[in-house]
Amino acid sequence: MNGLQARLVRTPVRPVPRHRWDDGARWLLSEPRGFVRVLGAPGTGKTTLLAATAAARIAGGADPESVLVLTGSRRAAGSLREDITRRLTTREDADEAGGRVRTVRDPLVRTVHSYAFAVLRAQAARDGDPAPRLLSGPEQDVVVRDLLAGDLERGAPDWPESLRPALAVPGFAEELRDLLLRAAERGLGPEDLVRLGQRHGREAWVAAGHFWSQYEQVTLLQGVGGHAVGEAGAPALDAAELVASALVELEGDPDLLARERARVRHLFVDDAQQLDPLQYRLVRLLAGSATDAVLAGDPDQAVFSFRGADPRLLADADPDGDRTIVLSRSHRLGSAVHEAVARLAATLPGSAEHRASTASTVSTVSTVDGAEGGAGAVRTRLVPTPAAEASWVADQLRRAHLIDGVPWSDMAVLMRSASHSLPVVQRALAMAGVPVASAAEELPLARQPAVRPLLALLRVAADAEALDAETAELLLSSPLGGADPLALRRLRRGLRRLELVAGGERSSDELIVAALRDGDVLAGLADAEAAPVRRLGRLLTTARDAVGEAAGVEEVLWRVWSACGLQDRLVSQAGRGGSLGARADRDLDAVVALFDAARRYVERLPRASVAGFAEYLSSQHIVGDSLAPVAVRGTGVSLLTAHGAAGREWAVVAVVGVQEGSWPDLRLRGSLLGVERLVDLLSGVDDDAVSTVSATAPLLAEERRLFYLAASRARHTLLVTAVQGEDEQPSRFLGDLADDGTDARDAGPDVRREVTERGLTLAELVGALRSAVTDPATEPGRRDLAARQLARLAADGVPGAHPAQWYGLAPASTDRPLRAPGEPVRVSPSVVDTLVACPLRWLLERHGGTDPAQLSAVTGTLVHALAQEAAEGTDEQTLWKELDAAWAKVDAGAPWFSRKERARVEGMVRTFLTWLNQSRAELTQAAVERDLRVELPAGDDERPVVLTGRVDRLELDHDGRPVVVDLKTAKTPVSRDAAAEHPQLAVYQLATLLGAFAESGTRTGGARLLYVGKSHNRTGATVREQPALDDETARTWLNTVRRAAGDTAGPTYPVRENADCSRCPARAACPLRPEGRQVTGP
């Protein structure tokens, strides 16, 4: 190996922080005490005490298998397992425990559901039965929605008539699942729910009970039916059924219960306030004869009632308080954070002894470099917009990292609703250069960007008819096809070109589908045009061949993945880090999860088809949890909801979006099926009590607990922000943080009236220095200093520091005019209109500053074409057929919007027809879409000007004078005064006077704007008229056209402010507009 020597190096172990425990904690640590309840405020060390006690028992000689620690989540279980192991394998802590343990088996730390599953699996193994299978949330959602769809097909006879329209709504399935889970967690079955509904007059509960019975039969049949090879299947259980089944087994089998009690001698439960009734029964059943049975928690941090958690179970676990330890010293929170959290605790309903705690005076509180003695800080801010809020938070986090030395991974941003706040925060952090730890996926596996095209490819390979235009575009624009929008447009144009040459009429959508379905290599197209189709065609061939060989789901998926070549590219991107690396990591994780889902699907159904797997995964509409391995995430700021932060801590925590209306969120939950009412009844709250209690009171109490939990996640620095404006007011909770009873609206500095600090980013530094250098009012010494600093930054290659990179300072590339002297200028009436308004706009639009393919331009062209046909005598039925044929080729976006625009186009054509019929008594049609070309008389020093263009309609009035009618599809007509001075109409009249329509005479009868987008009761369409030009006005407009033509020559193009500036497509490069000054100015 070329002399290379390698050796294993032990991963550095973080030292175990020493705690100054209360007398009660030391009493628990000393020896097993039977049942003990541990209560404490946030940061008092409840979890740490459980870890220390479990480690002490194992170090004292207890078998690690006899120690069971139950937690609320897999993340919490992993952290607690790591903490216990570290205490056992760290020499100092082992010495304190009386031994020198260096290597141990992992302690048994599990979630309640994991333990219940282990009990059922062990019992099934002893009985020779198949192990149970956990029915995941997405799978359960699919079953519920399928059964509801079946009920709808039968007319939903079991459901109340008032609920039948809601059965197809996704939210109804979610609420129904919630109702069944809450009932199961409280020990009810389908028959119990039916009887409860009948007793209390709740028809929805009766129907839900019948549905539940049907649901149980379906899931049971799925298990009993077994595999496709005829093997016995495993019973599928959801989360609530898992715990209920474990309880049934333990309570119904004395031998099993005795074995479990003999094995589990030391039971510790963390976050016991999150237990639901079934989980609590399971814990008490195991704790019956344990030498240690410790329940630790804080009822004030119970925030998962929507999942069935009941904090009263922990609160009432020790009615006399004889077996309760109250931890009263805060080991985690800095003094400032501790005081703020204590003020929040004082606002919680009821009273509790454990809320009173004192800040630690010893070094157990984690501090950050540069902080003063770990006292910490609490800062609140009121900001005008969500974007300003996110920017301030990003700046504070960057300062904490650069000045105080806080690692990015020791910071978090918490929010009440990820859908509202997460995108804005992510964008602000990215702009400030703050790395973000990858958040948990909020999309179902089948909808994740890396998985969606792979599933679509499998579906098309199994069924060629599944390939439609939408699927083809998805596949081509995905990484599998590799076509960006420009390449896709190039492909469509190439296909249409070939089709027209062949005399065909198929659309580009049809041509793409045909090429992919037939495996056409498109030899008639250039390589750049055909590359996406050829690349995707090879993958489809690979997948079809594998399906034809009857290969399994995993084999087909693997062949496609190997052939697409994405693995090397994603792995390379992931290795480079940054935002692209994080995205590549997420894509690779999603693909690994896809293979894991395929494995589990094949294990359950070995002979299942590829199409069946694709349909199975695509039918899942909610996010699932996967045990598939994921990439090790880089360090970054955590972005979480407040619920997701339970049980975690950071040095710096920002709580954003503390708005009245969103935090607290007092919208009633579960109101359609009465989930909350069901929970109240099963908890002993009768109808009379419910009628006297506010429905929002429990919601407000839980929202207070949630904010209390979020604020207490900070060890050293707590940042709380809210938006204050006309439509947004800060939450009442913000005022609770203040120590003087301040109103929430005055609870923090208002940055709208404050001079904000410059952000600690290079971009803002360069901007501040450039502003000082270019501002004439800057003091000379300060300007010189700023220039020297810019020179230093420019020497190091910082973007934007060197004046050569500044907009507006580079010399013009040329000063030659656009047109040579004496060169004829061709202008149209519409061009003159634009030049009169603003020559700069004409220049930018003329050279690519506008998109001619906008929908408004397409509809305008279509209306003009149909109006021309109508004027030439085409009947209405033919017009509508041609409109349908043309509209089928228009990409108008969403179907509902397309239908709306289609109806608007038809309405404009009908308005034109009405005007056409009603105006015949006054006007006579002379020509439709008539071209014009006329040369303007020019003097000796003037360049030749040629007027060209086309008039929509040329009419003759009673005196035989030409009247130009210009069709407009705009929704808002110009005023009558503006029409009288309208440049486009005036130029049409000028062309008439100069002989453009010589066959109709050289007099003018005026000109008109016909707004077919605005109907009129008398005339059909709204009409704006311009009087006929006399000799004086004709000379005025002749000079106007000459000046406009001269303005096209350049090299300078004046900019003129006008009424259309706010709608100008060139405003991003206009020096008069704020968005354009950054381009045209230094």
Residue 1081 assigned to a binding site: no
Residue 710 assigned to a binding site: no
Of the CA atoms within 13 Å of residue 898, those in its CB half-sphere come to: 12
* 949 backbone dihedrals φ, ψ, rounded to 5°: 155, -165
Coil/strand/helix, residue 505: coil
Return the HEC string of 839-889: HHHHHHHHCCCCCCCCHHHHHHHHHHHHHHHHHCCCCHHHHHHHHHHHHCC
Residue type, 570: L
Q: Which residues of 215-245 are buried (b: 16+ CB within 10 A; e: fewer)?
A: beeebeebbeeebeeeeebbbbbbbbbbbbb
Question: Helices (H) and strands (E) in the chain — how many of each?
Answer: 40, 21
Residue 45 assigned to a binding site: yes
DSSP 659: B
**What's the distance, Cα to Cα, between the start and end of the chain in Å?**
60
How many residues make up the chain in this entry? 1082
H/E run at residue 721: strand 714-723
The tokens for 565 are: 């070549």
Rounded Cα distance, 152 and 172, in Å: 13
Q: Which of 981, 991, 899, 913 lies closest to 954, judged by CA?
A: 991
* Residue that is written with structure tokens 């630790």 in the block: 296
Of the CA atoms within 13 Å of residue 534, those in its CB half-sphere come to: 11
Q: Which of 256, 237, 244 lies closest to 112, judged by CA?
A: 244
Residue 44 assigned to a binding site: yes
Phi-psi region of 133 (alpha: psi -120 to 50; beta: other; left: phi over 0): beta
Residues 6+ apart with CB under 8 A from 115: 68, 70, 246, 282
Rounded Cα distance, 873 and 884, in Å: 19
Cβ atoms of 825 and 943 within 8 Å: the answer is yes
Rounded Cα distance, 360 and 330, in Å: 5
Coil/strand/helix, residue 719: strand
R_g over Cα of the chain = 37
The tokens for 269 are: 């439960």
203, 207, 212, 217 alpha-carbon torsion, rounded to 10°: 150
Rounded Cα distance, 117 and 239, in Å: 10
Cβ atoms of 533 and 519 within 8 Å: the answer is no
Angle in degrees, CA 104, 106, 109, rounded to 5 = 145
Longest dimension (CA), the chain: 118
Residue type, 221: L
* 943 backbone dihedrals φ, ψ, rounded to 5°: -75, 150
Q: List the binding residues.
A: 40-47
Q: List the binding residues for ATP.
A: 40-47
